[in-house]
Amino acid sequence: MTTTAVALGPGTRATTIVRLALAAMAVAVALVTDLRVVTTFPVAIDATIPLAAAQRWLDGGTVYVADGFANPDVLPPFLYPPFVLPFVAPLTLLPEQLVRLAWTGLAVAVALLVCRRLAIPWRFVAIVLIWEPMLGSIWGANVQLLLFAAFVAAFWRAPAAHDLHPEPRDLERPGAVTPRIGWYAATVASVKATQIHAWLSIASRSLRSALLGVAPWVVVVAVTLPLVGIALWWDWLAQLGRASDPTWAAMGPSLLRYLPAAVVALLTAASLLVALRLRGPETGIWLGLLMLLVTPNMHDFSGLFLLPAMLRIRLEFALLAAMLTSTATAQGWWLGIAIVVGGMLAGRRWPAALEPVPA
C-alpha cells in the first residue's frame, strides 16, 4: 500500500486554500472591530489631546491634568513631552475640524508610505490598512504611526519596483550607518522614551551617527526649554508615572497588568541590553518585538511593531496573528503576539516557519 503526502509548501493547492480561508476570517474579524472603532471613537481623537493641552498651556492652566486617568468621559491624558507644545500651539488658531481632517489625511499618507517601504504589493495594501492596529492608528491619528514610519525607514531601505519582500538595511557593512539613520532611530523615541531601543541599536554600531542623529532633538528641547520651563518637564514625568499605574483602565494589556513593576523593569532593562547586541538582517524585526513587549501602555497602535515580523513568518501564522490582534481583546493580543514571536523563534531552527524570500 502506498500513501501520498500532502504538500504544504507555499504555492501548493492545500496551502492556498488554507491561506484564503484564514485571510477571509482575518478580514471579517478586522471589519467587525473597525466598525466598532469608527462608530465609538471620534475621528482623530489623538489629535485633539495635544490641541487641548496646548490650549491649556497658552491659557496658563495645568497642562498635564490627571482627569483622563479616572474619568472615561473626558479626553484621554496628554502624555507627550513639553517640547511638543510650542509646535502644536499655532494649530489651536485653526478650526479644530480642519486640523483633525488634515491629521487624518497625513496618517493615511504615512500608512501608505510604510506599506511601500515594507514592499507590500499594492493589491494587498487595503488588507493591511483595515488590520485593526493600522486602522486604529489612522482613525485616531496617533503620532505612533509617524514614529513607526521613522523606525521602518531606519531599518529597511526603499525597495525596488519589483521587490515583493522588505529589504533590510545592511547595517553591518562599514559606513552603512549614517547620521540620517541615527536621526530616524532617535525620532522613534522622540516623544516616547520607552522606544529607545532603535537608537541604542544604531549607537552600538556607530556612536557618532547616533549622536549626530539625536542632536536635532536635543536642539529642539533646548530651544523650547525657555518657553515651557523646567517645571513642566517634572509634570510630564509625574504624568508618565500615572500612565504606568496598572489600575488605569485604558493602559491596555501591558505586562504591568500581570507582573510586578520590579519584574517589568528588569525585563525592560534586559530588552535594552538585547537591543545593543542584536546583529543581522532581522535586527529591525526583533527591535520592534522588544519595544512592543515592554511597552507600558499597549494600545492598538502598539501592534504596528508586529508588522515587520508578520511579513517574515509564514503567511498562515501571520494571518492567524492578524485575526487575533484584530479582536482588540487582551487574549487576542497576547495570543497573536505569541504566534508572531514563536514563528520568528521557530524560524531560527526550522526555516519552514518563515515565508520563503525569493533570491
Tell me the pLDDT of the chain averaged across its residues: 90
Distance CA 135, CA 39 (A): 13
Q: Is the residue at 130 inside a domain?
A: yes
Structure confidence at residue 11 (pLDDT): 65
* Residue 2 in this model has a pLDDT that exceeds 70: no
Mean pLDDT over residues 21-33, rounded? 94
User: pLDDT digit string (tens) for 73-125?
Assistant: 778 889 999 999 999 999 999 999 999 999 999 999 999 999 999 999 888 99
Q: Is the residue at 208 inside a domain?
A: yes
Residue 256's φ and ψ, nearest 5 degrees, are -65, -20
Q: Which three cell numbers stand for residue 231?
A: 517645571
Q: How confident is the model at residue 359 (pLDDT cuts 50, 70, 90)?
A: low
Using alpha carbons, select from 186, 117, 204, 201 the residue that is nearest to residue 147: 186
Neighbouring C-alpha atoms within 13 Å toward the C-beta of 235? 19
Structure confidence at residue 8 (pLDDT): 54
Distance CA 145, CA 67 (A): 26
Q: How confident is the model at residue 161 (pLDDT cuts 50, 70, 90)?
A: low
Mean pLDDT over residues 338-349, rounded? 94
**What range defines the domain where residue 267 resides?**
20-353
Q: Is the residue at 87 inside a domain?
A: yes
Q: Which three cell numbers stand for residue 229?
A: 520651563
Q: What is the pTM of this model?
A: 0.92
User: pLDDT digit string (tens) for 236-281?
Assistant: 999 988 888 888 877 888 888 888 989 999 999 999 999 999 999 9
Close Cβ partners of 101 (under 8 Å, ≥ 6 residues apart): 43, 44
Number of domains in the chain: 1
Q: Is the residue at 8 inside a domain?
A: no
Q: Is the residue at 5 inside a domain?
A: no
Q: Is the residue at 12 inside a domain?
A: no
Tell me the sheet residues that pair with 156.
168
Q: Is the residue at 254 inside a domain?
A: yes
Distance of CA 8 to the CA centre of its chain: 32
- Which of 65-69, 291-295, 311-315 is the least confident region? 65-69
Residue 167's φ and ψ, nearest 5 degrees, are -110, 100
Q: Is the residue at 309 inside a domain?
A: yes
Q: How confident is the model at residue 5 (pLDDT cuts 50, 70, 90)?
A: very low
For 3-27, give one letter per residue: b (16+ CB within 10 A) or e. eeeeeeeeeeeebeeebeebbeebb
* Top-confidence residue, 299 or 151: 151
* Top-confidence residue, 83 or 46: 83
